[in-house]
Amino acid sequence: MEKSVQRIRYPPFEHSDMIPKEIPIIEVILESENTPPPSFKIGKDNDWLVEWRKINKEDKGLPKIKGEVSKETFPFLMRTRNGWYIDPDPMHYRARKMITPAVILIISTLFLRAITPAIKEIKYILPILDILSYSVRIGQLDYPLFLFIAFPIFISPMFFRMIANMRDIKRQNQLIANPITPPEITIDKSINEIKISKLKIPKGLEIKRARIQVGIAVPERRMILESQGKVEGEQTIPGMSTALPERRITTGEELGTGVGESTPMTVAHRRLMMLEPMRVLDPGPWVDLTNLSDKEIILCGPDELWPGSIYSGLIAVHWELIMEFNTNNGTNMKWVRPLIMDNYHHKIDIDKLPVKSGRLELSDY
């Protein structure tokens, strides 16, 4: 059996609300029949962290778990990050950004209404107070007039999200009813880049741009519980949610930690029609392909040199090609294909783990 050490502090869904160093690092000795990759460390011990290295004498007290190590893309990633996806309606992003000012507005309105009697005699703000003091009687109660302005603004994000969801569902159903064939593509891989020597685009689509990107997939829930000596049903570790009933688990959370609205509303289908964001993602630069010719296309990886493709229950380094298209009716589409990139024969050390939002409309995919 091959033995190696895995250390990970993976960002939960709402990672912006948490202090990384207050969440314990998961440290285990992984036993596998397959050879582990060359050592790498991404992040710091007091921040979000992913590390895979050789075992040493100081690691004898760590818990041992058995698991698979493979260079082949795991099935759950092939289901969730492979094929065609639609972009969420831009109204989702605008509605999300409206929530904070809308809440501030309605709270401020109610607060000013509440203190109006106490400061009614202050002359220089009297005109404002006069406006706030106006009321509208509905039934047996009086309602401040200004609330009829603030409340519609307060609920407008929900209204806009509802419209955006209906548009998304319509476009998802169109994709299901009229599936698109994948592009015909020939790829040559080298160190931190790929070369596309052949690309045939399906009819009715116009290519915009492409890039390659690498990230760390959400750890497998079973492996996290095993590493902490816990079983399902007990209190979970900080940053990890309790299990949901199977019928309510979203595709991306069936193997993961944390629960949240990672994508807008999706239709009931065997695969998602929207690309779930990776919480740890480092992309290469976009390459404009609007003036595509027959020449070779080179797509470079991120500035930092990452490990090659390697998959285990706790740490899964996933590479993929992502291309953006426009359809004839103006729908933005993405085509995603996993890549198997080779590992390097030297240790990789990256200072910062690149963390993204868990919400699709706020992330960079």
Q: For residues 305 and 341, give the distance between their C-alpha atoms in angstroms, rounded to a whole number.
A: 12
If pLDDT is split at 50, 70 and 90, which confidence band does 50 have? Answer: very high
Assess whether pLDDT exceeds 70 at residue 12: yes
Length, in residues, of the chain: 365
Tally of CB atoms within 10 A around 66: 13
Is the pTM higher than 0.75? yes
> 194 CB contacts (<8 Å, ≥6 apart)?
187, 188, 212, 298, 299, 321, 339
Instruction: Summarize pLDDT for 275-332 with one digit per residue, the tens.
Output: 888 889 999 999 998 887 667 889 999 999 999 999 998 999 999 999 999 888 778 8
Q: Can you give the pLDDT at residue 129?
A: 60
Chain segment 203-260, per-residue pLDDT in tens = 888 999 999 999 999 888 888 888 877 777 676 766 566 666 554 344 444 444 444 5
Name beta bridge partners: 205: 327
Write out pLDDT tens, residues 318-331: 999 999 998 887 78
Best CA proximity match to 88, nearest among 160, 15, 183, 14: 160
- Least confident span in 68-82, 125-139, 208-222: 125-139
β-sheet bridge partners, residue 315: none
Residue 105 has pLDDT above 90, yes or no: no
Indicate the burial class of 293 (C-beta count within 10 angstroms; 0-12, 13-18, 19 or more).
exposed
Strands 40-43 and 348-350, how do they pair? parallel
Is there a contact between 73 and 318 (Cβ–Cβ < 8 Å)? yes
Contact of 264 with 92, CB cutoff 8 Å: yes
